[in-house]
Amino acid sequence: MAKRLVFPEGYKSSLTQKETQRAIKTIKDTFQVKLAEALNLDRVTAPLIVTKASGINDDLNGIERKVHFTMKEIDGTAEVVQSLAKWKRRALYRYGYNVGEGIYTDMNAVRRDDDCDNTHSLFVDQWDWEKVITREQRTVEFLQETVRAIVKALFETNEIIKEKYPVLNTVVNKDVFFITSQELEDMYPDKSGKERENLITKEHGTVFIMGIGARLKSGHRHDGRAPDYDDWSLNGDILVWDKELDAALEISSMGIRVDADSLKAQLEIANATDRMGFPYHQGVLSGEYPLTIGGGLGQSRICMFLLGKAHIGEVQVSIWPDDMREKCAEHNIILL
């Protein structure tokens, strides 16, 4: 396990563990308020478990095993959520939200097949958000406008945390560089997707890579994306340059969601047309569910980035391999 780790030379946390806990609260309290104000979102409660039969759970790349169990008084199988991408859209419909209004929530998930490293944990915590839009807003321009609003909230949060803890020196570039995954492949045809992300983000600081999920000219995908929530032509990832890890750090996966036409097309590409029978998919296909934009913002990743941490385990409590804990301790990385 530990061979995948990055150990910054001479690393030492700028904050004590007590200061870190207080700083995490400041970041979370600040950022979620700024995000809600920027996008006109209400905070709502969210599920930790859903039924398998609902089709609500996120299938991610389609190969990850969900944590599941049978129940004492309810027929069927329950699953621990992997994300709330589909649940949020149904919630907007059920709660009666109108165009321009949205919701956000603390999303806690378990992804048992994720690799453990500096930025990945079996425990996932995000601010998941979703907003009702018009058909006319299903454009690249509106997507980019939304990304800029999110990055502005991150920039302002960083300024506040640095004022409170002057020892911190994280830089957030609020001028987002936009590029499509195909343009990025054309620039660096001999590089992997991760290598391309590092090259472009190191140059620009804050990057939004658009169009993730479909195959590129090379026949490869830039990255995987489930076929039934984001429209692959109107989505993307927000990346920032993490100077501690000397690498691009993805802090958000987001996008304009599928309408009936793009849902059908993407399910066919993914050989997953059997999902059309699920209640969620029927709600999209029939037009019952509203058109939306949404995404997730990694809470722990944002905290580790703004606080200059080298490992996500410095800002969240999870389960780690024993050899990882030992190796991290040897390099002054103390996991919670």
Closest listed residue to residue 259, CA positions, set 224, 237, 230, 235: 230
Which residue out of 89, 90, 111, 301 is catalytically annotated? 111
Closest listed residue to residue 83, CA positions, set 297, 312, 306: 297
200 domain-assigned: yes
259 domain-assigned: yes
How far is it, in rounded angstroms, from Cα 98 to Cα 114?
A: 36
208 domain-assigned: yes
Which residue out of 82, 126, 262, 300 is catalytically annotated? 126
Which pLDDT score, from 0 to 100, does residue 1 have?
A: 44
58 is catalytic: yes
The residue to which tokens 């944590």 are assigned: 67
- 106: containing domain: 2-330
Which pLDDT score, from 0 to 100, does residue 103 have?
A: 97
Which residue out of 13, 253, 262, 300 is catalytically annotated? 253
Which pLDDT score, from 0 to 100, does residue 251 have?
A: 96
Which pLDDT score, from 0 to 100, does residue 2 have?
A: 45
How many independent structural domains does the chain possess? Answer: 1
250 is catalytic: yes
336 domain-assigned: no
102 domain-assigned: yes
Structure tokens at 22: 């207080």
Which residue out of 58, 125, 130, 197 is catalytically annotated? 58
CA 174-100-296 angle, 5° bins: 50
Which pLDDT score, from 0 to 100, does residue 61 have?
A: 62
* Residue 251 near residue 301, CB atoms below 8 Å: yes
Which CATH number is 239's domain given? 3.30.930.10
The whole model's pTM is what? 0.91
Instruction: Work out the angle between the directed axes of helices 299-306 and 140-164 (0-180°, nearest 10).
Output: 50
210 domain-assigned: yes
In angstroms, what CA-CA distances link 124 with 22, 57, 69? 20, 14, 19
183 is catalytic: no
pLDDT values of the chain reduced to their tens digit, one per residue, 336 residues: 445 788 999 999 999 999 999 999 999 999 999 999 999 999 999 998 888 887 777 766 666 788 888 888 888 888 888 778 888 999 999 999 999 999 999 998 888 777 889 999 988 999 999 999 999 999 999 999 999 999 999 999 999 999 999 999 999 999 999 999 999 999 999 999 999 999 999 999 999 999 999 999 998 989 888 898 899 999 999 999 999 999 999 999 999 999 999 999 999 999 989 889 888 899 999 999 999 999 999 999 999 999 999 999 999 999 888 888 999 999 999 998
335 domain-assigned: no
237 is catalytic: yes
Which residue out of 128, 237, 244, 314 is catalytically annotated? 237
